[in-house]
Amino acid sequence: MTHTIQPNSPEVTPAPDATDVPASTAVAPKPAASAVPAALKRRIPKYSDLAPLMQFKKPEFSKEARLKRASTIWDLRDMAKRRTPQAPFDYTDGAAEGEITLRRAREAFLDIEFRPGILRNVASIDLSTNILGKPSRMPVGIAPTGFTRMMQSEGEYAGSQAAEAAGIPYTLSTMGTASIEDVAAAAPNGRNWFQLYLWTDRDRSLELIERAAKAGNDTLMVTVDTAVAGARLRDVRNGMTIPPALTIKTVLDASYRPAWWFNFLTHEPLTFASLSRYTGTVADLINSMFDPTLTFEDLDWLRETWKGKLVVKGIQTVEDARKVVDHGADGVVLSNHGGRQLDRAPIPFHLLPGVKEAFTKDNSDAAIMLDTGIMSGADIVAALALGADFTLIGRAYLYGLMAGGRAGVDRTLQILEKDMARTMALLGVSKISELTPDHVRLLTK
């Protein structure tokens, strides 16, 4: 409909309806101009604005500063690799054959989902626990490791003293590079355990047991997964020997790591907890010591001989866990020797729920400990939630040792402690006893 204005008519034609205007001629209304906020207007910065931002620090190259920059165990591993010759680093870092077991052990901790609770009071986190009748300030101890002073000259002394300061147990290996007596003297107030390989020569084993008891060790940890040495191919390729051999390759390697060689050559030559001196390959040493004829009768003999706590390390099936407890063990360590013996061996973290269930059915109060693959405090918390009473670290501790001696081991334990406390707080638990299997779900592929 259209409206027109007649000549001389006072009537005003109404404005056309929007529907009366062709779409092609419609004009959208212009938006009102908005003011630019003052905070978004460009300006030349003032010195007073820049001054608080310019907090340049003098570069720090000390060992303490370097270690402080490490936020994870992986960071310490990177430092260790830069500072340690290839042969001893690979001895620590490597595993048997294709290293499948080690890779799977680490992946096991990655293939979980935490299930946190909310609205819990987690202002204070208590990491303390009891293991084998005595308190530990954290649910982790240092596992037995062989040839430790070869990784870094402070070796077992650094490990035992760091454990003493942290209030956790330290385990000296039969193949450790410090004597039972010297470690006890270095950490007189620490909780020292001794790990035993039963030798073919029982008299020599008995001598070690007596020395461990006399030095104040309250726990004997017998390792049972070493009928023969595993095929540790990195060591074979590196020509790993005890002590390290000075070849053209090692001399060239030393040129990039002079501090390691200086420390190694200017300290007392390597000695062992069970041997005065040895020269030869690692595999030859292991095969000369390990007894492939061990049976449960030998465990019975050990139970009668040792009066303290007895732990069996190297358990890889539920059936064997139950059986060693029946033969007098006070605890078990679910372990595949860090993946260094049988490749494609069972993964301790996967074995854990079955062992816990079996011990519960048996009304057993034997301690369940676990090692292999632990690289963070979150890994430890996951293991505790699924039924472990305690955990042990080997490589994680050695990475810290190689990265910075005693200070590096301290840093390892600080990182793990912080990880555990943060993980527990985010899960909504304030103490170890509150962790349950409901806090962890195993992901399936």
What are the residue numbers of the active site?
337
Enter the DSSP assignment of 188.
T
∠ CA(379), CA(381), CA(386), 5° rounding? Answer: 95
Q: Helices 377-385 and 100-110 sit at what angle, rounded to 10 degrees?
A: 80
The torsion angles phi and psi of 139, rounded to 5 degrees, stand at -85, 40
Please give the span between the terminal C-alpha atoms of the chain, in angstroms, as a whole number: 72
DSSP for 323-350 reads HHHHTT-SEEEE--GGGTSSTTPPPHHH
Whole-angstrom distance, CA of residue 176 vs CA of residue 199:
15
Cα 268 from chain centroid (whole Å): 30
Instruction: Determine which helix (DSSP H) or strand (DSSP E) holds 248, and give its type and residue range.
Output: helix 248-255
In whole angstroms, give the CA distance from residue 98 to residue 107: 15
Are the CB atoms for 373 and 105 separated by under 8 Å?
Answer: yes
**Of 343, 288, 366, 335, whose CA–CA distance to 132 is shortest?**
366
Paired strand residues for 334:
315, 370
Q: State CA 199 to chain mean position distance.
A: 30
Strand, helix or coil for residue 186: helix
| Contact status, residue 64 vs residue 414, Cβ threshold 8 Å | no
**Considering Cα of 395, then 396, then 398, then 403, what sign does the dihedral take?**
positive
Tell me if residue 18 falls in helix, strand or coil: helix
How many CB atoms neighbour CB 372 within 10 A? 30
Hey, which residues does 129 pair with through a beta bridge? Answer: 136
Amino acid residing at 292:
P
